[in-house]
Copies of this chain bind each other. A is one copy, B any other.
Amino acid sequence: MSPEVERPERNSERAREAIAAAVADGAQIVVLPELVNSGYVFESADEARAAAEPRDGALLEAWAAEAARGDALVIGGFCELAADGCVYNSSALVDGDGVVAVYRKLHLWDAEARWFSPGEEPAPVIDTRYGKLGLAVCYDIEFPELTRGLALAGAELIVLPANWPYDPDPVDGRPVLHSLAAVTAYFNKVFVAVCDRCGTERGVEFQGGSVIADPAGSLRAGPVSDRGALTISAECDLNTARDKRTSQRNDAFADRRPDQYLAALANPPPA
């Protein structure tokens, strides 16, 4: 979908319609883009704050109502006005009974730091009726520590709402977002579902780069050929992501040598 920063009143209804259509089609896990209620290209912190909504408000209540029609889960990004008065770039996991979890983006991209406070809690893994879901948002995927941590904590599917800017001439011959999704899935032997917004907003063109990657590093769904508004879907047996074996003698997790990495990873970056 393509939220519109200048018409936030329309965005929530569009998101609701997209959820309703996916649930009607039988989707069990529905993923929306980042910041679906607000749009992305803000001109001021006030504009972001004006579009922000609380986790216990009408926005996520509507998601829960749609989820309840099909016993579905909905994960989507939203511009959150928190009880502490801060505005966050958040992802909510909602089921038919309401909000299950809210994750606040840890890594803020570019101008986001002007409107959003960074999250101050780790990205969570939520045990749901359909499997263990790890939550992250967009630029978070560039931090392999975060996604590795989710997988080690048991995530079988990592769900990433995104607003990825379009790159007309990607260095790697395809959108880097797709390589990141595929390799993150491959490293961790998990599924990765990226729902990326489309459209152009205040001169910024977005990738429309939604993909679903599987534990082998294959794209099960996507990329979207014309980068327009589209729902993509795949059947994913999340139980298969619990098996980390990669050969008769290898296991992507058991083969780790944490005694040999942690000192380096714990170090601050070099000056």
Chain A residues in the interface with B (C-beta under 8 A) = 106-111, 113, 118-119, 121-123, 139, 142-146, 148-150, 152-154, 171-172, 176, 179-180, 182-183, 186-187, 214, 216-219, 244, 247-250, 252-258, 260-270
By a CB distance below 8 angstroms, the chain B residues around A187 are 142-144
Knowing A107-B255, A152-B265, the reply to whether A260 touches B122 (Cβ < 8 A) is: yes
Closest 7 CB pairs of A and B: A149-B264, A171-B218, A253-B269, A144-B144, A145-B261, A183-B183, A110-B247
Please determine whether A254 and B269 come into contact, CB atoms closer than 8 angstroms. yes
Please determine whether A217 and B176 come into contact, CB atoms closer than 8 angstroms. yes
Please determine whether B111 and A249 come into contact, CB atoms closer than 8 angstroms. yes
Please determine whether B219 and A244 come into contact, CB atoms closer than 8 angstroms. no
Closest to A254 in B: B269
Please determine whether B216 and A171 come into contact, CB atoms closer than 8 angstroms. yes
* Complex Cα–Cα for A119 and B255 (A): 12
Q: Which among B145, B186, B260, B261 is the interface contact of A256 at CB below 8 angstroms?
A: B145
